Amino acid sequence: METEGRGNKQSSSDREEENEDLVQLGDEKIAKGTEACSKSLLGRLFADKPFSQGTLDNALRVIWGRPMGFRTVERGNNRFQFFFDSEQDAIRIERGGPWLFKDYVLHVQRWNEDENEVEERLRYFPVWAQFWGLPEEYKTLEVGRKLGDKIGEVIEVGFFSVRGKESRIVKAKIQLDGGKKARDSLRLAGPKQKVMEIGVRYERLGKVCTYCAYLGHEAKHCNRLITDLTAHQNTQDNIGEWVKADQVGKREDTGGADTGGDKTSHLRPAQPKKKPPPTWLIEDFAGMSMHDNRDTEKGAPESLNKWTRVAPTQIPEKEGKPREENRSLILLDDANPAAYSKEVHLEKDDTSKEESGKKKIKQIARQRGENFLHVSGNKRRPADMENETKQKKVCLEERNADKEKVEGASRQMAPQIP
């Protein structure tokens, strides 16, 4: 009895010592941390060599458009956690995956409190697999789905137009297991038990070793190849270099057939439906094209054709009718396109003879002084400068004489005040 009592006291004392090191936390204590992690993404980089947190942080900040509050936390073994201030940035980047960083696949998933579940989801990433060499009678969505099931879980199937000997192929979007070997071919048996080999190519697969068929490195850095070479074993590649697709193709309309795309619509970036242009805009464009064609035939420049369309609202009134005061007009002359750029200010019909005479004097002065008032870029001699000064004096004298004649004529024509 005494021995049992001593044992119970010792076990209770051990529990007390363990409880002394235990700190219990409630939900309210980690509420802020949980909220920050809810806007974060967990990512796995399928690369054999390790990458640092600073390398990914600097590169992905630029690739992802410098999201607000972005920071990277390293979790070891090429696992990282990416934090964002905006929920929209986290959704956008998750939907845009998988990403390629230095030609390595970077797969991201939303953070979850269950670490084991997130790690399992990070093992698989979506990728398009192309099937080449199918006979035309075998190019159906059902055949594409069956071929995709041999590689991974099928998300979507469709027909695509491509360049080359085959103008139309079948593609399947699958969840590829990053920890397994990649396949470059599948064997297909038809109804008559005829076996044929179908080629498989992957889009955006990143670096893959053709010797061991695993992701994350190339054949020149493959440890298995080095080991086999040392042991003088077979060193033949398991897959061909064509496993990485060199084209994507253009999707064809399946005519309403079920491609399985609705099940994973959340994985693709949201794209709004384009709004059709209104009727008035189409008619306006059509009218502008007609004007441009007519003006082009006349030889008018494009910049002048714009004035042609607005000219009808500025056409001057007919002769004999009074013109409005301070009204401006762009003159359009079909015979001389350069006249389109001249702006003429129309004035009153009762303009005095004196003002018209002054305009005439200025016009004469410009015509006569056009030759010697122009200064060229060449250096002038003193003799030329003297001749120019004499010509200016002669011009001024002639202009003053013309001005006196005009003023005298205007005084004679002015009505006498009784």
The owner of tokens 């019909």 is 349
Half-sphere exposure of residue 255: CA atoms within 13 angstroms, side-chain side: 2
| Last-in-domain residue among 232, 267, 302 | 267
Residues 91, 75 share a domain: yes
Asked whether residue 305 is domain-assigned, the answer is yes
Residues 82, 52 share a domain: yes
Task: Assess whether pLDDT exceeds 90 at residue 304.
Answer: no
C-alpha span between 51 and 45 (Å, rounded): 9
Is the peptide bond prior to 98 cis by the omega test (within 30 degrees of 0)? yes
Residues 111, 53 share a domain: yes
Over residues 356-410, the pLDDT tens digits come to 666 777 777 676 655 444 444 445 555 566 666 777 676 777 777 766 665 665 5
Which pLDDT belongs to residue 6? Answer: 56
Asked whether residue 5 is domain-assigned, the answer is no
Check residues 204 and 377 and name the one with the higher pLDDT: 204
Which pLDDT belongs to residue 384? Answer: 60
| Last-in-domain residue among 122, 146, 178 | 122
Per DSSP bridges, beta strands 79-83 and 40-46 are antiparallel
Residues 59, 193 share a domain: no
Tell me the percentage of the chain whose pLDDT exceeds 90.
37
Over residues 331-364, the pLDDT tens digits come to 444 444 444 444 434 444 445 556 666 677 777 7
Task: Assess whether pLDDT exceeds 50 at residue 40.
Answer: yes
Residue 142 structure tokens: 């059902």
Over residues 98-151, the pLDDT tens digits come to 999 999 999 999 988 777 777 888 899 999 999 999 999 999 999 999 999 999
**pLDDT range class, residue 164, cuts 50, 70, 90:** confident
Asked whether residue 143 is domain-assigned, the answer is yes
Asked whether residue 7 is domain-assigned, the answer is no
| Last-in-domain residue among 340, 361, 395 | 340
Rounded to two decimals, what is the model's pTM?
Answer: 0.57
Residues 395, 281 share a domain: no
How many Å from the N-terminal Cα to the C-terminal Cα in the chain?
154
Residue 418 DSSP SS3? coil
Which pLDDT belongs to residue 191? Answer: 83
Residues 174, 82 share a domain: no
**Pick from 158, 362, 350, 396: nearest CA to 268:** 158
Asked whether residue 328 is domain-assigned, the answer is yes
Residues 115, 131 share a domain: no
Residues 145, 249 share a domain: yes
User: Are residues 226 and 211 in contact, defined by beta-carbon separation less than 8 angstroms?
Assistant: no
Residues 129, 85 share a domain: no
Residues 138, 71 share a domain: no
Asked whether residue 68 is domain-assigned, the answer is yes
**pLDDT range class, residue 7, cuts 50, 70, 90:** low
Task: Assess whether pLDDT exceeds 70 at residue 189.
Answer: yes
Q: Domain of 69: which CATH number?
A: 3.30.70.330
Residues 153, 133 share a domain: yes
Residues 302, 320 share a domain: yes
Q: Show the domain range for 131.
A: 124-205+244-267
If one counts the domains in the chain, the total is 4
C-alpha span between 96 and 94 (Å, rounded): 5
Q: What is the average pLDDT across 258-264?
A: 57
Asked whether residue 333 is domain-assigned, the answer is yes
Asked whether residue 218 is domain-assigned, the answer is no
